[in-house]
Homo-oligomer: A and B are copies of this chain.
């Protein structure tokens, strides 16, 4: 372990510089203008893997953004770890709230500030540098394969198809992923559950053109008013979702399981203060930890319609739109939920409007048994580097591709994340602790050592 630490220490600045090179590529997958940046980011990863010591690494085209595949096979009889990560990032708006250029990383207060610093350039790149370190110090104990995609933030459509036709190529014993958070800097955790996702855009059309709100107001339905009324009815006074059949398949947890889930540390006052709110809102009958970990949601991620510019314009608009997402939990099927939502939304639409529901993306929830050998190896790795037993965490976030891996490849994933809740992923001023970047590299290396036993 000593030579590993020494190698990391003497090459640390270069590790960061190489990560910064990746971050500087604005690979926003949801904006088509950034198409060329997706290829650039993939090529950067390929070159990094080759430099780190991969036998081979290539950029493999898909109908969407390319997939980077690389491998180092030391002995076919040894276990194979398949590393998964993504090189795409979220959009940066509202850009005016950033303190620095999101694509020019800076280190300040012990953190890297940039879009992708954590999610998932910073976290995925730790695996590249852990691999390099094991190669250069002769400590690699497993075969290793890398698989990086550029569509994680938009639903992993291409990778879901790619794994079907590349099952043999990516054959492995376990998938290792760093794209989640730990409970706190002091309390490591391993993500044992992930929520699924269904995401739609809805369009509500009233009159066939924008109208003068004075000449027509009062006699014709305003689609913004109607959209608001429609979505307002989706959650009842207990914050239960009213879509018929929505909860039918939701996994029920026993009293014992719920007790264990609620053992994760949580301070409500601190939580409210960190969000700047006087009160929380959530489903009746569940704790905050359960609400984000094991219960589904209904959130408007965006809404727009009519005049949204400076000053006032008295218009009765023709159309109103919303982007709606439901976080789902184990056993809920995102396609079934999509059908239920569409049917419900069309049913509650008053006859003075027409509605259109367009699915934008979806993914299934995921659960990992805490008695899996690879899960135990991850626990031991954390014990070694953090000196503390990591607790299993049920994350509210979604990595839809993880459940696809299980379904298509039959391989479980270990979600060994080093982010923090305060990293502002998907938000302005995303950041990632520099010490977590280096401690993460050490923990990943420790995982390989324990897993090989």
Contacts and interface: CB of A to CB of B under 8 A. Distances in A.
B327 A280 contact: no
A19 B296 CA distance: 60
Nearest to A306: B302
Contacts of A316: 299, 301
A155 B313 CA distance: 10
Interface in A288-305: 288, 291-292, 295-305
A147 to B, nearest CB: 22
Interface string A191-207: 00001010101000011
Interface string A208-243: 111111111111111011011101110100000000
A327 B296 CA distance: 40
A122 to B, nearest CB: 15
B220 A313 contact: no
B327 A214 contact: yes
B292 A216 contact: yes
B31 A310 contact: yes
A243 to B, nearest CB: 14
Interface stretch (A74-82, A126-134, A161-169, A393-401): A393-401
Contacts of A361: 312
Interface in A406-453: 421, 424-428
A32 interface: yes
A312 B323 contact: yes
A27 interface: no
Given A215-B397, A301-B316, A303-B305, A31 B311 contact: yes
A434 to B, nearest CB: 22
A314 to B, nearest CB: 5
Interface in A46-68: none
A94 interface: yes
A275 interface: yes
Contacts of A353: 277
A276 B205 CA distance: 10
Nearest to A273: B208
B308 A277 contact: no
A350 B428 contact: no
Nearest to A290: B218
Contact of A220 (B235, B277, B305): B277
B312 A426 contact: no
A87 to B, nearest CB: 17
B197 A214 contact: yes
B396 A217 contact: yes
Interface in A341-361: 350-354, 360-361
A306 B310 contact: no
A207 B317 CA distance: 29
A207 B275 contact: yes
A218 B278 contact: no
A192 to B, nearest CB: 15
Contact of A225 (B222, B300, B320): B300
Given A219-B291, A220-B280, A312 B306 contact: no
Contacts of A106: none
A4 interface: no
Given A31-B310, A311-B31, A314-B398, A282 B209 contact: no
A422 to B, nearest CB: 10
B219 A282 contact: yes
Contact of A219 (B207, B280, B321): B280
Contacts of A296: 218
Interface of A: 29-32, 90-91, 93-94, 97, 153-155, 181, 195, 197, 199, 201, 206-222, 224-225, 227-229, 231-233, 235, 271, 275-283, 288, 291-292, 295-317, 320-323, 325, 327, 350-354, 360-361, 395-398, 421, 424-428
6 contacts: A217-B297, A219-B280, A220-B281, A221-B281, A300-B305, A314-B398
Q: Which 10 A-B pairs have the closest CB atoms?
A: A208-B276, A214-B397, A302-B306, A30-B311, A232-B232, A221-B281, A224-B300, A228-B228, A218-B291, A302-B307
